[in-house]
């Protein structure tokens, strides 16, 4: 089959809930992927940061294969010999006391919401059914009905109500607005240290640290969603490390699965985690031995290959070089580490045609929220590959003919 045939097969048999670039991939290695036509492309999305370690990292694949040959799923009805050692490692790497494993990011966010609410009732004495959680405008925390209910994106919410009550929304980057929104029933503040899906929005310096102070002063939990920003992406192990902390509950996912398997979880102190008791919460696949083995290898690679430092060095160079290349279409290049957003001016039209032109040049990147091209290559990328990428990107951003459909 050719590209068009693969695509029409999915169109025929699936829901139309995505608008992918017209490329069908069949193989990957490190930062590179190959499509069914044999083209080699540089993956500068990394599955939204789920492939920080690169495609098919040998160490992670070896762990997957080793564990697949022994035991893959037990459910939590029984213990398995992999989960404990994984969670011990996850806690020691992150500095938290307790970890609760889930699979997808949205599930982990749901887990954090449940933990914060129950903590609010049992520890803080909030009246039953009254717990409130403050979230940020333009947040992205996943796709469950509860989570989209507190989204400000009409496409994410529209047609999916009614929604769960108990959430209040404040502008992102404004710690004063957070403080003003706190009520006696507030139990937590859920925040992304950089808003990825909103377009790589970096908050003002000191924002997260100030939010943590406010949460501490008011006795509420700071719930730090590091699903996309964590595990080296922003040039620190966790993005919160730039700004004073990892939070009272930290949510991890994406790269914790090393690009091969969904692995997520929440981390917290025991005072929060101890609110869960048998029967309260769970997941058939959460903490399965295959995921635990993969998660350990995924963490090993991030720590031992010092991917946060690579991300900081290469990301700084990448952003500086893109800025220096200039472009009549670009309003701003922003981000931290290798989490980079190139904002296209409104009068230059949407970002999508630029992503299509980049694809023609051998680079896979995806627009987010109309105006922003997101670049988040695997953190294992070689400097020479990134240099090549910058040449292609600078070409596209300076050549209206390449960005077909872009309004010059």
Ligand X SMILES: *Cc1c(COP(=O)(O)O)cnc(C)c1O
Q: Where along the sequence are the contacts to ligand X (CB under 6 A)? A: 48, 104-106, 109, 140-142, 192, 196, 225, 227-228, 253-254
Active site residue 366: no
Distance in Å, CB of 48 to ligand X, minimum: 5
Catalytic residue among 35, 43, 225, 300: 225
Catalytic residue among 86, 96, 140, 329: 140
Distance in Å, CB of 73 to ligand X, minimum: 19
Smaller CB distance to ligand X: residue 357 or 364? 364
Separation in Å, CA 291 to CA 59, 83, 88, 204 = 14, 8, 14, 36
Active site residue 97: no
Nearest to 265 by CA among 140, 49, 103, 89: 103
Smaller CB distance to ligand X: residue 126 or 239? 239
Residue nearest ligand X, Cβ-based: 105
**Residues with Cβ < 8 Å from 128, sequence gap 6 or more?**
121
Smaller CB distance to ligand X: residue 126 or 298? 298
Q: For the chain, what is the radius of gyration of the CA atoms?
A: 21
Catalytic residue among 43, 243, 254, 318: 254
d(CA 323, CA 334): 9
Distance in angstroms between the alpha carbons of the first and the last residue of the chain: 37
Place of tokens 């290898």: 297
Contact 110, 147 (CB under 8 A): yes
Active site residue 254: yes
d(CA 400, CA 152): 33
Smaller CB distance to ligand X: residue 136 or 406? 136
Smaller CB distance to ligand X: residue 253 or 265? 253
Distance in Å, CB of 124 to ligand X, minimum: 25
3-class secondary-structure state, position 265: strand
3-class secondary-structure state, position 250: strand
Distance in Å, CB of 40 to ligand X, minimum: 27
Separation in Å, CA 110 to CA 105, 106, 146, 148 = 9, 6, 8, 11
Contact 56, 28 (CB under 8 A): yes
Distance in Å, CB of 283 to ligand X, minimum: 13
Q: Which residues are catalytic?
A: 140, 225, 254
């Amino acid at each position: 089959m050719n590209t068009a045939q693969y695509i029409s097969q999915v169109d025929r048999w699936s829901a139309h809930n995505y608008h992918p670039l017209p490329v069908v991939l069949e193989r990957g290695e490190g930062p590179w992927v190959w499509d069914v036509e044999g083209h080699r492309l540089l993956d500068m999305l990394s599955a939204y940061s789920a492939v920080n370690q690169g495609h098919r990292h040998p160490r992670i694949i070896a762990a997957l294969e080793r564990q697949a040959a022994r035991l893959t799923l037990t459910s939590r009805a029984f213990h398995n010999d992999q989960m404990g050692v994984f969670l011990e490692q996850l806690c020691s790497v992150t500095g938290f006391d307790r970890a609760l494993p889930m699979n997808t990011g949205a599930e982990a966010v749901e887990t954090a919401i449940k933990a914060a609410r129950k903590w609010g009732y049992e520890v803080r004495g909030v009246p039953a059914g009254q717990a409130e959680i403050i979230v940020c405008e333009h947040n992205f925390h996943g796709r469950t009905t509860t989570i989209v209910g507190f989204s400000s994106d009409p496409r994410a919410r529209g047609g999916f109500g009614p929604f769960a009550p108990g959430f209040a929304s404040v502008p992102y980057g404004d710690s004063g607005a957070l403080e003003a929104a706190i009520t006696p029933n507030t139990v937590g503040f859920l925040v992304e240290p950089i808003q990825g899906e909103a377009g790589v929005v970096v908050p003002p310096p000191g924002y997260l640290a100030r939010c943590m102070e406010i949460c501490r002063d008011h006795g509420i939990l700071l719930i730090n969603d590091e699903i996309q920003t964590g595990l080296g992406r922003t040039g620190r192990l966790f993005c919160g490390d730039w700004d004073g902390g990892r939070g009272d509950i930290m949510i991890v996912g994406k790269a914790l699965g090393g690009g091969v398997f969904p692995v997520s979880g929440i981390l917290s102190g025991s005072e929060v985690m101890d609110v869960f008791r048998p029967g309260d919460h769970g997941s058939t696949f959460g903490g399965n031995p295959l995921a635990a083995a993969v998660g350990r290898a995924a963490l090993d690679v991030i720590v031992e290959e010092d991917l946060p430092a690579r991300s900081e060095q290469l990301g700084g160079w990448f952003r500086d070089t893109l800025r220096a290349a200039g472009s009549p279409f670009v309003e701003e290049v922003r981000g931290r580490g290798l989490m980079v957003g190139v904002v296209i001016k409104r009068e230059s039209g949407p970002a999508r045609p630029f992503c299509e032109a980049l694809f023609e040049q051998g680079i896979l990147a995806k627009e987010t929220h109309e105006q922003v091209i997101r670049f988040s290559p695997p953190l294992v990328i070689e400097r020479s590959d990134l240099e090549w990428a910058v040449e292609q990107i600078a070409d596209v951003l300076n050549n209206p003919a390449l960005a077909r459909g872009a309004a010059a």
